[in-house]
């Protein structure tokens, strides 16, 4: 899977990086790798499914510890496989000039955060294909390795245990990982945006029609249809029906319905975001930001801020400024936890959110980008800074105002 920062899908997928806590794993090839805590859910589910059913079935003679350790190894390698899928997107994307700064692994898989959309349909095409190609290649590699280690296997799909009983742990893990990666590659090739296959579809339509918006709409509609299909199949499974490929069962059905919901949402929002970007064009933040706000000095007491600020004006947050330099922002929420008798004593500088913890943008940042960042970080406004100097504030309303008035102008022509 692959999502642009802006269609870091909401609802099922609302992945707000500023809020959801995770683990920074390090960086590979200049790409930051983050693990979201929700990844633990899929890790636990896989470990449980393997140790509670699959492995005891294949290897009745294995002890509990051996089963558990093998399951954990398989789940870890599964996560690593997803990471390689995303890295393939990132590396190919970079060759075509699309910067990917971060990959997040979360409960529904992986997400490569693109900085802006690919500039050409060819860039989109190759970048989208790279992930599933990596998964399919991994699947074939794992199966070949398993054959190499365990020798040729003649597995009867109805009774796999007979052939697998004599296979060691390493080959067992490979025999499980191989088909899983192939399924992962094929699933992502389903032509519904924002799945990789949907991006391939959009790239092809874009190449044929030259119209990115219409291509996105068509690919996203396919994505929504696929999402609805998965949800319907999931509910059928929950009701005890048997669905081709996915089988039956409550947990599997619930999972499928959730993925369907997630995909449908992501498809809808990707399209909306595309329209917003198109409407705003290359409008920079410096054009939309507002200047009609009051600032406050770091040495002001909280009492003064309340008496002369919060109680008098509708402004809810004040930039803390000395000279021209921004030091932080103080909002009503920062003041609320403070005891009343502390108001005359405490200074604004002690309570504010300092600059190094604020998200800021530069004057040349695209307004569409600022809009998506506001949603992603879950904040109301960004200070617009140039060389530490506060130029203005930009809020969602500032940007929406321009869209409502249709002032953004069309996007620059695409190659």
Report the nearest approach of Zn ion to the CB of residue 62 (Å): 34
Three-class DSSP labels, 330-345:
EEHHHHCCCCHHHCCC
Report the nearest approach of Zn ion to the CB of residue 311 (Å): 52
- Render the burial of 247-280: b for 16+ CB within 10 Å, e for the rest: eeeeebbebbbbbbbbbbbbbbbbbebbebbbbb
Q: Which range binds Zn ion by CB under 5 A, 7-15, 49-57, 125-133, 365-373?
A: 125-133
Report the nearest approach of Zn ion to the CB of residue 198 (Å): 10
Report the nearest approach of Zn ion to the CB of residue 26 (Å): 21
Do residues 316 and 331 touch, judged by C-beta distance below 8 A?
yes
Which is closer to Zn ion, CB of 85 or CB of 274? 85
Residue 131: which residues within 8 A CB-CB, separation 6 or more?
1, 2, 85, 86, 88, 89, 185, 188, 196
Contact status: 131 vs Zn ion (CB under 5 A): yes
Q: Which range binds Zn ion by CB under 5 A, 50-58, 63-71, 174-182, 194-202?
A: 194-202
Query: What part of residues 349-368 is at the interface with Zn ion (CB under 5 A)?
Result: none
Which is closer to Zn ion, CB of 74 or CB of 184? 184
Structure letter (DSSP) for residue 357: G
Which contiguous run of DSSP H or E holds residue 108? none
| Total residues interacting with Zn ion, rule: CB under 5 A | 5
Contact status: 124 vs Zn ion (CB under 5 A): no
Contact status: 196 vs Zn ion (CB under 5 A): yes
Q: How many residues does the chain have?
A: 415
- Render the burial of 383-404: b for 16+ CB within 10 Å, e for the rest: bbbeeeebbbbbbeebbeebbe
Contact status: 109 vs Zn ion (CB under 5 A): no
Report the nearest approach of Zn ion to the CB of residue 323 (Å): 48
Q: Which range binds Zn ion by CB under 5 A, 128-136, 163-171, 280-288, 331-339?
A: 128-136
Report the nearest approach of Zn ion to the CB of residue 105 (Å): 12
Three-class DSSP labels, 56-73:
HHHCCCCCHHHHHHHHHH
Query: What part of residues 169-188 is at the interface with Zn ion (CB under 5 A)?
Result: 188
Report the nearest approach of Zn ion to the CB of residue 221 (Å): 20
286/238 Cα distance (integer angstroms): 52
Report the residue from 2, 59, 199, 369 that binds Zn ion according to the rule CB under 5 A: 2
Residues engaged in binding Zn ion (CB under 5 A)? 1-2, 131, 188, 196
């Amino acid at each position: 899977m692959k999502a642009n920062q802006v269609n870091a899908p909401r609802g099922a997928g609302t992945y707000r990086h500023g809020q959801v806590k995770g683990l920074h794993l390090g960086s590979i090839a200049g790409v930051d790798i983050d693990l979201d805590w929700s990844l633990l859910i899929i890790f636990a589910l896989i470990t449980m499914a393997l140790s509670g059913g699959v492995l005891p079935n294949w290897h009745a003679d294995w002890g509990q510890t051996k089963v558990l350790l093998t399951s954990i190894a398989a789940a870890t390698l599964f996560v690593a496989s997803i990471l390689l899928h995303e890295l393939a997107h990132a590396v190919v994307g970079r060759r075509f000039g699309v910067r990917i700064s971060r990959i997040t692994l979360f409960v529904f898989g992986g997400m490569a955060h693109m900085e802006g959309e690919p500039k050409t349909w060819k860039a989109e095409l190759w970048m989208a294909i790279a992930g599933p190609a990596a998964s399919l290649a991994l699947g074939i590699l794992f199966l070949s390795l398993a054959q190499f280690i365990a020798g040729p296997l003649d597995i009867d799909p109805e009774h796999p245990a007979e052939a697998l009983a004599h296979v060691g742990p390493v080959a067992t893990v490979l025999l499980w990982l191989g088909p899983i990666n192939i399924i992962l590659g094929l699933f992502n090739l389903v032509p519904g945006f924002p799945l990789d296959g949907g991006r391939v579809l959009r790239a092809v339509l874009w190449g044929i029609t030259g119209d990115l918006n219409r291509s996105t709409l068509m690919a996203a509609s396919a994505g929504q249809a696929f999402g609805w299909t998965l949800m319907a199949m999931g509910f059928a499974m929950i009701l005890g029906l048997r669905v081709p490929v996915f089988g039956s069962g409550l947990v599997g059905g619930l999972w499928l319905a959730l993925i369907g919901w997630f995909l449908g949402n992501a498809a809808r929002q990707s399209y909306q975001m595309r329209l917003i970007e198109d409407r705003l064009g290359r409008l920079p933040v410096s054009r939309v930001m507002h200047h009609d706000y009051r600032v406050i000095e770091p040495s002001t007491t909280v009492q003064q801020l309340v008496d002369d600020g919060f109680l008098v004006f509708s402004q809810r947050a004040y930039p803390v400024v000395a000279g021209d330099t921004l030091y932080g922002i103080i909002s009503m929420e920062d003041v609320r936890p403070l005891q009343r008798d502390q108001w005359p004593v405490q200074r604004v500088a002690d309570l504010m959110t300092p600059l190094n913890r604020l998200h800021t943008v530069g004057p040349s940042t695209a307004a569409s980008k600022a809009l998506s960042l506001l949603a992603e970080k879950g904040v109301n406004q960004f200070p617009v800074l140039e060389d530490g100097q506060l130029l203005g504030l930009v809020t969602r309303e500032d940007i929406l105002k321009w869209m409502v008035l249709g002032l953004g102008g069309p996007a620059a022509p695409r190659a």
